[in-house]
Chains A and B, each alone.
Chain A
Amino acid sequence: MIKRSFFALAQPTLEYDPLEPDPKTPEVIQSPDNLILLVNETLKSTKDTLFKKGDRVEKFERIRLYEDSTEYNVSPVAGTVQRIDIFADDFGNTITYLVIKKDKDQDSSSDQQSPAISPDIRSADGLLRNLPGAPPLKKLADPDLKLNTLVVTCTDDDLLCTTQQYLAKTELAHLKEGLGILKSMVSIPKICVAVPESLNIKNEFDSFQTFSISATYPEALPELVLKDHLNIIPVPGQTPEEQGVCFMSAEAVISIAKAYDQKTPVFEKLLTIIGKDGARTRIKATIGTPLRLIFNQLNIHINDMDRIVVGGPMRGSATFSIHHPLQPDMDMIMVQDRDIIPELSDSACVNCGKCVKICPAQIPVNLLVRYLAADQYEEAADGFDLESCIECGLCAYVCTARIPLFQYIRLGKHELSKLRADI
């Protein structure tokens, strides 16, 4: 954990970690007997699902909950469904998880052909949405979005993480191939590549515009890339996609290249693991692997009251279960020992001004939090720029009173969207 320096007149600067000069090959985690797959749809008690406990699932089979479902997942293995149940996220949104028990004998089913994927966006969207890196194919295939720019990011969006940088460096050929496939597949006029300053691959992309992203946190966040490199001022309350810009990670592009090479979906996800001692390991594991097995193989012991953070120290989310599955969009897992978890408080804001000084979006956080604490979400959005927040977490990181400012803001945005949906 990076602490405040003794002399703190100047703002603390947090920097993204650069990739080490001579990166090691990632450790491969054994494919587990039971995989957990998530389907981004709520389980309805009144309707029969297409898959039931005990049903067989073939390798590469699309798993949908209902006939009319648009959300799906693809099974990396052949096996039987052991369980279907509800999975709840931070804000109480419910999706569905399936536990799939792998067949002992995978070879017999390996003859199973993947459904054909042709290089057009509809076909890709029909099978490749859950590739490692979670390619935003749904958005790319959506004609209503009117996208005009696609930004492929070789940057990691949180501190300590080096997953995307490692992939961009070591799988450059696939990255370029994937960019070519994307270019022919989508009709987006402008495709750009965002490369970290420290990564020396900027000249590799001849036919694509490249941006050099500074190592200062949070320069790699989408809103700041829009502002600094595309000269688009992010509109509060709108996603970059609504403004015509789609972001896609390097891993997603590489996965697409590999999927078209092999003519089957791929499931090997690269992941940065930060252990309790801060040691960094990169691993490769099958999507759906429970985190518990990864920790076991890496000899990371999880005790009661430890914290498992999915994502980085600034923007991640803590999971409640060691059985949490590896998902396509996870770049990093951080484990914190119970003793180093910083304490929070319910103190009021003392108006010290550190959050206002550090906020990259110039939000009056000191005033905003007073409205959010009083549940006045509309006022917070109208007068105090709630929706301008780019969710970097710096305000809560520096808060002297240790108020969970970032959570107040996230909750505020969530409640605001609920309020607006009601009208």
Chain B
Amino acid sequence: MINRKLTVSHAPFWHDGDSLFQMNLNIMLAALPAVIFGILHFGGPAVGVLALSIASAMLWELLFNVVSKDPISIGDLEAAVIGLIFGMMLPATTPWWVVVTGTFVAVVVGKMIYGGIGTNPFNPALTGMAILMLSWPVFFDADAALVSYEFDYPALAPLAALKYQGIAALDQFAVSDLLMGKQVGAIGSTFGLGIILGGIYLILRGYIRWEISVSFIAGIILTAFIFHMGNPDKYAPAMFHLFSGYTLLGAFFLATENSSSPVNTIPMFIYGFMGGVMIILMRNVGVYADGTVLAILLINLVNPLVDTIRPKALGKGVNNA
């Protein structure tokens, strides 16, 4: 009698072919328009910061894997995505040690100590950013960081200008210029159009949840609109808020991070909308010029709570007999 050693496993015997590697690769692809624009715009130093950020993020994860004797997990590209997005939020002139410290906080403190992929309660890149911004705020002042650059447009970070010079400073910034990347800022956050294109690509591919991005943007526009209507002499219009600072990066790449965002429909809308509202509140009422980083960390915090709003499962909550 012939006997064959068969593969025995469990249903389903098909898979739609998706994987973490594919997902993270696509997120990196989607970030490319903004990244390439940033590199062309800010030159060599931007390449250096991005390369160091991605490389060090992956190395930190590898090192953590080795020390904790876990299987090597950098192959899923999650660390690379954290490194890339972290790098995109840095000004081109950030010193190397700030980048390396930042990715350490992002990858090790932000993700690995919770147990690795899928377990982080906060967006790892934002954890890194928040701690760096509180520790060395001077490196994140885009005006100071880019002082040696020559630009053919106002060399002022729009949000900082709004904060410290008031609404009058806004005359220098046309919305179309902001959208096309003619603004001072971090490597990957200035080219609004590129970020939007990347975001739409991710939504269409099903790698981020459109509900979060759309409600996030709706929250920003609505809140900023209400402030602007209430006092147009003090508060900037909605479009200015939307296309400046980290706002778009937040809508498409930060708030949508899988592990720290909700998955049910109503919670996704609440989560995204709250994020948008918080950003404008921080900018208009709070002390921070931008506020995206802290606003998103804040909604990450409420994510588990809002995500308990979910539909009743089949047969639950119904008295049948």
Contact = CB atoms under 8 A, between A and B. Distances in A.
Interface of A: 1-4, 6-9, 12, 90, 223, 227, 232-236, 243, 292, 302-309, 311, 313-323, 334, 336, 338, 341-342, 344-345, 347-354, 356-357, 360-364, 366, 385, 388, 390, 393-394, 396-402, 404, 406-407, 410
B315 A348 contact: no
B67 interface: no
A348 B259 CA distance: 11
B12 A223 contact: no
A276 to B, nearest CB: 13
B118 A388 contact: no
A352 B23 CA distance: 10
B258 A350 contact: yes
Interface of B: 1-20, 22-23, 76, 115-119, 203-206, 209-210, 258-264, 310-316, 318, 320
A384 B42 CA distance: 50
Contacts, number: 198
Nearest to B16: A4
A303 B10 contact: no
24 contacts: A1-B15, A4-B206, A7-B205, A7-B206, A9-B206, A12-B16, A227-B314, A308-B6, A314-B11, A314-B13, A322-B3, A342-B17, A348-B118, A349-B118, A350-B117, A353-B262, A353-B264, A364-B263, A385-B314, A388-B315, A390-B314, A397-B12, A397-B15, A400-B20
B320 A320 contact: no
Contacts of A353: 209, 258, 262-264
Classify the interface of chain B: helix, strand, loop or mixed: loop
Contacts of B316: 236, 385, 388
Given A12-B16, A316-B13, A351-B258, A321 B313 contact: no
Nearest to B312: A362
Given A234-B314, A336-B7, 7 more contacts: A302-B4, A303-B4, A305-B5, A309-B13, A318-B6, A322-B4, A348-B115
A3 B1 CA distance: 38
B314 A388 contact: yes
A40 B118 CA distance: 43
B12 A313 contact: yes
Nearest to A237: B315
Given A307-B7, A317-B10, A347 B314 contact: no
Contacts of A223: 314
Nearest to B211: A353
A407 B116 CA distance: 23
Nearest to B12: A393
Contact of B310 (A232, A348, A362, A390): A362
A236 B204 contact: no
Nearest to A384: B313
Contacts of B258: 350-353
Contacts of A361: 313-315
Nearest to A315: B11
A210 B107 CA distance: 58
A234 B20 CA distance: 35
Contacts of A407: 10-11
B9 A318 contact: yes
Contacts of A366: 263
B7 A406 contact: no
Contacts of B2: 292, 322
Nearest to A316: B11
A12 B16 CA distance: 9
Contacts of A305: 5-7
Contacts of A292: 2
A307 B23 contact: no
Contact of A236 (B1, B209, B263, B313): B313
Nearest to B314: A361
A303 B4 CA distance: 7
B258 to A, nearest CB: 5
Contacts of B119: 348
A362 B315 CA distance: 10
B18 A400 contact: yes
Nearest to A244: B321
Nearest to B201: A7
A406 B10 contact: yes
Contacts of A350: 20, 117-118, 258-259
| A352, A401, A404: residue with the most chain B Cβ atoms closer than 10 Å | A352
A8 B206 contact: yes
A308 B316 CA distance: 36
B315 A304 contact: no
A385 B313 contact: yes
Contacts of A334: 13
Contact of A400 (B11, B23, B204): B23
A3 B320 CA distance: 39
A232 B19 CA distance: 38
A2 B14 contact: yes
Contact of A396 (B12, B118, B260, B310): B12
A347 B2 CA distance: 37
A401 B206 contact: no
A124 B168 CA distance: 91
Contacts of B210: 9
Contact of B263 (A4, A356, A394): A356
Contact of B11 (A317, A349, A352): A317
Contacts of B19: 400, 402
A236 B315 contact: yes
A306 B313 contact: no
A344 B19 CA distance: 10
Nearest to B5: A304
8 tightest Cβ-Cβ pairs between the two chains A and B:
A353-B263, A8-B206, A385-B313, A361-B314, A342-B15, A393-B12, A407-B10, A350-B118
A3 B16 contact: yes
Given A319-B8, A323-B1, A2 B16 contact: yes
Given A3-B17, A341-B7, A234 B315 contact: yes
A348 B1 CA distance: 42
Contact of B18 (A4, A302, A315): A4
A321 B6 contact: yes
Contacts of A390: 314
A251 to B, nearest CB: 22
Contacts of A347: 20, 76, 117-118
Most-contacted residue by chain A among B2, B18, B19, B117 (CB, 10 A):
B18
